[in-house]
Amino acid sequence: MAILIYAEQTNGKINKTAKELASYAAELSRKTGMPAYAVSFGAEDPETLFQYGISKVLNITNDAFKTFSARAYSEAIAQAAEETGARILLVGESADAKYLTPFIAAQWQAAYVTGVISEPLTTEPFVVKRKAFSNKAIAHVQLNGNKKILGIAKNSYGLKENPSDGTVKSFEPQVDSTLFDEFKVLSVEKATGKVSLSDAEIIVSGGRGLKGPENWGMIEELAEILGAATACSKPVADMGWRSHTEHVGQTGKQVAPNLYIAIGISGAIQHLAGVNSSKNILVINIDPEAPFFKAADYGVVGDAFEVVPRLIEKLKAFKAEH
């Protein structure tokens, strides 16, 4: 019996989510005595996972898997689970992970929960905490049966180094090639050179208080200095000031960076639902009564057009020293 993580990559390298899953798996391994393994689709640096307590990585390097197919990937992961005797599978919350995991859950007839924010409270029975009602509640959920899949919420567990000896094994799943032909990929559009919202440690987000798209220069400049991603409130995306891909909230993306900076955003309940798992929240708003201040750790009451340029200057000076 073993624990298996689906270790994803960004630009060919094991990403932060994978390291977080590995950290979680290592803890679970201590609690249950089962070894913690990983499966990767050709990451360049699978050994990175040993640092976080993984002792074996099955690396799938067939060229076929250079194209993503949810069904083919799920089949390959299920075979890796079979090979390693895995009873517990850990996955992240990327678009691909959310897409493919239900296929494994159905095949395994597994108990599968997403949005997990705690290590198991008990392992017999197996109970974890998960987010529910769009971050307005936390539920204690029991997973029944001998196969379990946990979707771990981003940034909820953190990275814990736990060096272990490990091996990388090349793995060749037997997947029916017609699974790759279900869909023909016509195009892939990706914003390049920008920090993506899901990877970002810091997010700078703008709302209707910024008056118009022409005023986003300072938001982008602030983001650049901080190495942050940019986001926006729903009306900003609806009015076409910014792309829909930047919309965060209950009906947009759910994010949980270390720092979320909200500028000219009122803090409506639907907006908060997508951002209140952030580790720290800084609110800049001209209205001292803005509801966002109640959900914030740090706040500045003031006109964004005055505060943000000043903050940029101060941060430039700070960055020059550090």
Ligand X SMILES: Cc1cc2nc3c(=O)[nH]c(=O)nc-3n(C[C@H](O)[C@H](O)[C@H](O)COP(=O)(O)OP(=O)(O)OC[C@H]3O[C@@H](n4cnc5c(N)ncnc54)[C@H](O)[C@@H]3O)c2cc1C
Residue list 237-256, contact with ligand X (CB under 6 A): 249-252
Beta bridge partner(s), residue 231: 205
Q: Is 196 exposed, middle or buried (0-12, 13-18, 19+ CB in 10 A)?
A: exposed
The footprint of ligand X on residues 273-312 (CB under 6 A) is 274, 285-287, 290, 303-305
State the number of CA atoms in the 13 A half-sphere of 140 facing the CB: 7
Among other proteins, ligand X, none, the one that 70 touches (CB under a kind-dependent 5 to 8 A) is other proteins
Question: Given the complex with other proteins, which of 124 and 165 has the nearer CB atom?
Answer: 124
Burial class (CB in 10 A: 0-12, 13-18, 19+), 107: middle
Within positions 172 to 211, which residues make up the interface with ligand X, using CB under 6 A?
207-209
> Shortest approach of other proteins to residue 160 CB, angstroms?
16
**Selection from 240, 238, 291, 286 nearest residue 263 by Cα:** 286
List the one residue from 239, 270, 317, 318 that touches ligand X (CB under 6 A). Answer: 270
Distance, CA of 89 to CA of 5 (rounded, Å): 6
Residue 287 interacts, among other proteins, ligand X, none and using kind-specific CB cut-offs from 5 to 8 Å, with: ligand X
Shortest distance (Å) from residue 117 CB to other proteins: 10
Reduce the DSSP state of residue 311 to 3 states and report it. Answer: helix
Question: Which partner in other proteins, ligand X, none is near 92 (CB below 5 to 8 A by kind)?
Answer: none
Report residue 148 as tokens: 């379990």
- Considering CB distances under 5 to 8 angstroms, the limit depending on partner class, which of ligand X, other proteins, none binds residue 304? ligand X
The binding site for ligand X (CB under 6 A) comprises 207-209, 233-236, 249-252, 264-266, 268, 270-271, 274, 285-287, 290, 303-305
